[in-house]
């Protein structure tokens, strides 16, 4: 049994190497992404590990079948860019890491909101210019706000606990309500109801084809004036063009975006000295009330270790037992 892992960063290497030694299983580490050009590198391996970012070669699973790869283990949650039907057709199991650290993402989302409501980015800019005046950038307290949480899985529930700790009123919407939260009366009946009530909207849901641009022009029209929007989920949930219009009109007071709908060409790349070719992203970066981070809400030592170890153990389980607790269900 031996594995090959792609997109391996330096911070992941120690966890891969320790696991390999402890389990006496060869794991080849490749820094580059898995592409059509590098697909031949998987020949002779039982499992392939990768990150759920970017896109994969169209014929990847056919190649896996031909060379005997049994499992494709991603070190993330989402599978929206993986051709699961092709995986099933070629007999390759796909595993993910359902929960590497819900708290990491929940904590980060609250951190970003706190910066928005207390105008810290604006004050950093003012101080750099030696302008030490306060007005007119008065802040808000979380306990005075209604926070609307969309998606109440592990991450959403962790966020709810944190917001409650600040004394905020929390409402939520989920297509599949959590029974405990439902008993507490936290849920509203529709997106529209949440949009109408929330001072803050924070997204903690997966992305599907039907949810693309869930937050768009029509949704913004139903929101309170001066709403704050936090997205640590998936970039495709927000229509960026509509968001920019809402920011400029004042409908949205501030946005914290850890994901962006066209992020694959930008995030986790060193583009210093290069011109950004994406006009929407360039415009986002120019907004004083927008915080952009390159998909790093998950990025803690706890999460990185869990992502590596759970994906490796999943691949090992599939090779030894033919299944794993983390196998993605394909309809």
pLDDT tens digit at each of 331 positions of the chain: 999 999 999 999 999 999 999 999 999 999 998 999 999 999 999 999 998 666 788 899 999 999 999 999 999 887 878 899 999 999 999 999 988 899 999 999 999 999 999 999 999 999 999 999 999 999 999 999 999 999 999 999 999 999 999 999 999 999 999 999 999 999 999 999 999 999 999 999 988 889 999 999 999 999 999 999 999 999 999 999 999 999 999 999 999 999 999 998 899 889 999 999 999 999 999 999 999 999 999 999 999 999 999 999 999 999 999 999 999 998 7
Residue 62: per-residue pLDDT: 96
Is 327 part of a structural domain of the chain?
no
CA distance 230 to 46: 40
Asked if 250 and 168 sit in the same domain, the reply is yes
**What are the residues whose beta carbons fall under 8 Å from the beta carbon of 3, sequence distance 6 or more?**
25, 26, 27, 28, 45, 46, 47, 48, 49, 312, 315
Q: What is the pTM of this model?
A: 0.88
Query: Which pLDDT belongs to residue 262?
Result: 93
Residues 188 and 207 occupy one common structural domain: yes
Alpha-carbon distance of 29 to 207, in angstroms, equals 29
Determine, yes or no, domain membership for 326: no
CB 326 within 8 A of CB 34: no
**Could you tell me where the DSSP H helices lie in 71-132?**
84-89, 102-117, 120-128
263 counts as catalytic = yes
269 and 204 belong to one structural domain: yes
User: Reduced to 3 states, what is the DSSP secondary structure of residue 85?
Assistant: helix
Residue range(s) defining the domain that contains residue 169: 102-292
Domain CATH number, residue 61: 3.40.50.720
Is 228 in the same domain as 246?
yes
Is the same domain home to 168 and 280? Answer: yes
Kindly name the residue from 154, 234, 261, 305 that is annotated as catalytic: 234
In this structure, the answer to whether residues 147 and 196 fall within a common structural domain is yes
Say whether 255 sits in a helix, a strand or coil: strand
Task: Indicate the DSSP class of residue 109.
Answer: H
Task: Give whole-number Cα distances, 96 to 14, 136, 181, 313, 327, in Å.
Answer: 20, 47, 26, 11, 7
- Is residue 53 in some structural domain? yes
Asked about 66 being catalytic, the answer comes back as: no
Establish if 328 belongs to a structural domain.
no
Asked if 258 and 214 sit in the same domain, the reply is yes
Task: Please count the structural domains in the chain.
Answer: 2
Q: Is residue 330 assigned to a domain?
A: no
Tell me: do 183 and 244 sit in the same domain.
yes
Question: In this structure, is residue 171 part of a structural domain?
Answer: yes
The pLDDT assigned to 44 comes to 96
* 234 in catalytic set: yes
Of 75, 154, 157, 263, catalytic: 263
Residue 43 within a domain = yes
């Amino acid at each position: 049994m031996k594995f090959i892992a792609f997109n391996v960063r330096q911070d992941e290497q120690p966890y891969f190497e320790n696991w390999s030694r402890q389990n006496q299983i060869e794991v080849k580490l490749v820094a580059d992404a898995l592409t059509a050009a590098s697909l031949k590198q998987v020949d002779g391996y039982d499992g392939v590990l990768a990150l759920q970012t970017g896109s994969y070669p169209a014929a990847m699973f056919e190649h896996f079948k031909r060379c005997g790869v049994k499992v494709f283990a991603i070190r993330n949650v989402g599978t929206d860019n993986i051709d699961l039907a092709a995986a099933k057709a070629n007999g390759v199991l796909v595993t993910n890491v359902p929960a590497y650290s819900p708290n990491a993402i929940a904590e980060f989302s609250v951190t970003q909101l706190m910066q928005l409501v207390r105008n810290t980015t604006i004050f950093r800019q003012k101080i750099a210019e030696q302008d030490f005046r306060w007005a007119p950038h008065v802040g808000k307290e979380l306990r005075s706000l209604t926070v609307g949480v969309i998606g109440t899985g592990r991450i959403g529930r962790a966020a709810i606990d944190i917001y409650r700790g600040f004394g905020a009123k929390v409402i939520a919407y989920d297509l599949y309500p959590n029974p405990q939260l439902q008993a507490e009366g936290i849920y509203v009946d529709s997106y529209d109801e949440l949009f109408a009530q929330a001072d803050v909207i924070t997204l903690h849901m997966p992305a599907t084809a039907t949810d693309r641009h869930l937050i768009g022009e029509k949704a913004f029209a139903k929101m309170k004036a001066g709403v704050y929007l936090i997205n640590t989920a998936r970039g495709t949930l927000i229509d960026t063009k509509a968001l920019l219009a809402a920011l400029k009109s004042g409908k949205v007071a501030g946005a914290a975006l850890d994901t962006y709908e066209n992020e694959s060409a930008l995030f986790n790349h060193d583009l210093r000295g290069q011109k950004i070719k994406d006009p929407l992203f360039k415009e986002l970066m120019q907004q004083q009330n927008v915080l952009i981070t390159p998909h790093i809400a998950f990025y803690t030592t706890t999460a990185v270790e869990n992502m590596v170890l759970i994906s490796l153990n999943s691949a090992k389980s599939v090779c030894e037992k033919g299944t794993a607790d983390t196998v993605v269900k394909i309809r």
